[in-house]
Amino acid sequence: MKKLLKDVATSLVYLVVMLVNPLLNGVQSLRAHHWPTERRKLRLIGSPTARAARAAERERIRALVEALGAVEGVEHLLTQVLDQSTRPSTYGLDHPRDTLLVCRIHARAYFVVREDVLDVLRRIEAANVADWQANGQGPDPHGSLEHALRWYRDGGVDANGWRMDPPCLSSPGAKLTWDRPGIPPRDPIPAGPYPNRLFVLEQTPPDADAARLLDEARADGRGVVLELAFGAGWVDYCQYHKVARGGFAGRGRL
């Protein structure tokens, strides 16, 4: 009899565990995908650490834009800085299971030159505003002035008959491109509207119609527009901060 009761008790415990375990897993899954309120997110990205990282990235952008605009023959037209804090993608390095928010800056600056663009590129190289050889090795790696000059000299085709990579000046964290015949320029960063206060777009000049301003600079072929885009590696943004899960928001754990 005692053995029977023991077997029954063991079976009941097993059934309870089997029933409760999926519920616990479901709760953990919901907690892992918990998405805090906008107010809470604004507080998280307003932490001293986030503010310091944001300020450092903004200063890096400002300094390079200012240095490039000071080169003879380069006229600054427009700077756009879109600061956004969003949930990470499940396919990125920062998975939503571990990371609550990623803070990124999409930044572009536009300039116009009204003379031979190759002469201006040589002056940009001589000004040492950046190390323009980030994307390769050898005597004229892609992203260097030497590669750009060879591209124009050889018509974009190398000695083996292969198409060369399009010319640009590339440095760690930024890439400079310019108008080329037959290649449609990409649109500037949209003015909005954006979904919430976690997206902040700032422009210089502040009230400019970006697309119209660039079209006017290109009018009648009188100017070649340069685009300085900021980003690390092959992405078009700079990630300066992330908020890991594990903090506390109100009564619930994030």
Kindly report, residue by residue over 162-215, the tens digit of the pLDDT: 999 999 999 989 999 999 988 999 999 999 899 899 999 999 999 999 999 999
Range in 48-52, 150-154, 155-159, 183-187 with the lowest mean pLDDT = 155-159
Tokens of 122: 């040589």
Q: For the CA atoms of 83, 86, 91, 92, what is the dihedral angle to 10 degrees?
A: 50
Residue 48 Cα distances to 18, 45, 54, 170, 225, angstroms: 46, 9, 10, 32, 38
pLDDT at 34: 60
Q: What is the mean pLDDT of the chain?
A: 83
Q: Is the pLDDT of residue 249 over 70?
A: no
Residue 119 Cα distances to 13, 51, 72, 169, 178, angstroms: 82, 40, 10, 14, 13
CA-based end-to-end distance of the chain: 50
Region 121-147: mean pLDDT is: 83
Q: Is the pLDDT of residue 140 over 90?
A: no
Domain boundaries, the chain: 1-32, 38-131+172-253
Provide the percentage of residues in the chain whose pLDDT is more than 70: 78
**DSSP label of 181:** T
Most confident of 12-16, 41-45, 46-50, 106-110: 106-110
Q: Is the pLDDT of residue 62 over 90?
A: yes
Tokens of 126: 């001589």
